[in-house]
Structure 1
Amino acid sequence: MTAEVRGISLAFVNAMGNLAQIYGSYLFPSKDKPKYLMGFGVISGLCFTGIAAYLALYILLKRPTTRR
């Protein structure tokens, strides 16, 4: 990758990481303590979605090895 592409990629990842500070306060309101069911439900769902996407892409993008 060129330096420009790496710089843009790092900025994008940093922006997405900082976005968690914004939506986190809405997922864990103080009225839901001590269980925070909505916040933990959303995070668990996102983790499951990430795992499912990883497994699906791993299976779909894995190229069969052919030996000649």
Structure 2
Amino acid sequence: MRPSPPEWLIERGLQKTTIVAVHVGGCWTVRKSSRCIEVSQAQALHALRQQVPACTRCRPDSALGFLA
């Protein structure tokens, strides 16, 4: 059996020092990316509050009820 995907992901840049986007855990655009790290709901919300862009495909801001 495959493990279930994480609930939330943060995608880092190529240098892995900047945060590029917030994603829902099952987002198809980053499923196999080694640049993503699993985060808690609170961490995903914090990133969105810090102006980290939400993925335009999976819309984690909508899933979290975050209105900018």
Higher relative contact order (CA 8 A, sep 6+): 2
Q: Max radius of gyration: which structure?
A: 1
Which protein is richer in strand relative to its size? 2
More helix by share: 1
